[in-house]
Amino acid sequence: MSMARATRRSGVAFLLLGMLGAAFFWATDPRFGPEVHRQAVGRMDWRHWLYVMRGSPENVIDAANQTTLSTMVGVGGSAALLLVGLWLLSRRFSSLR
């Protein structure tokens, strides 16, 4: 396998992990994420699963204030992975000397 191909493969992996990480931190944040259900509606209610995953806080304001920093750090780290992936994808190897 050539070095350019391995670099592109790493770039794609970092790009996908960055997008997946950003989506995870967005979905689990009580302030910026999607609305949740306190009670399950049916058997497969993903919004209730989000409610349970977020820790089921009694006070939504306190939960949002507690998770703001971790969400920012997580999205920042995911953005860094995304940028490194884009950089690896844009590199071109002319020839090895």
- Quote the pLDDT of residue 13: 92
Residue 49 in any domain: the answer is no
How many domains are contained in the chain?
Answer: 1
State the pLDDT confidence band at 74, using cuts at 50, 70 and 90: very high
Residue 42 in any domain: the answer is no
φ, ψ (nearest 5 deg) of residue 29: -90, 130
Print the domain residue range for 25.
3-32+59-90
- Quote the pLDDT of residue 95: 43
Residue 96 in any domain: the answer is no
Residue 47 in any domain: the answer is no
Residue 97 has pLDDT above 60, yes or no: no
DSSP tag of 69: H
Q: What digits encode the pLDDT tens for the residues 11-70?
A: 899 999 999 999 988 887 877 777 777 677 777 777 777 777 776 667 767 777 777 888
Distance (Å, whole) CA 83 – CA 80: 5
Residue 38 in any domain: the answer is no
Residues 25/71, Cβ–Cβ less than 8 Å: yes
pTM over 0.85: no
Residue 43 in any domain: the answer is no
Q: Residue 87: how many CB atoms within 10 A of its CB?
A: 12
Distance (Å, whole) CA 9 – CA 14: 9
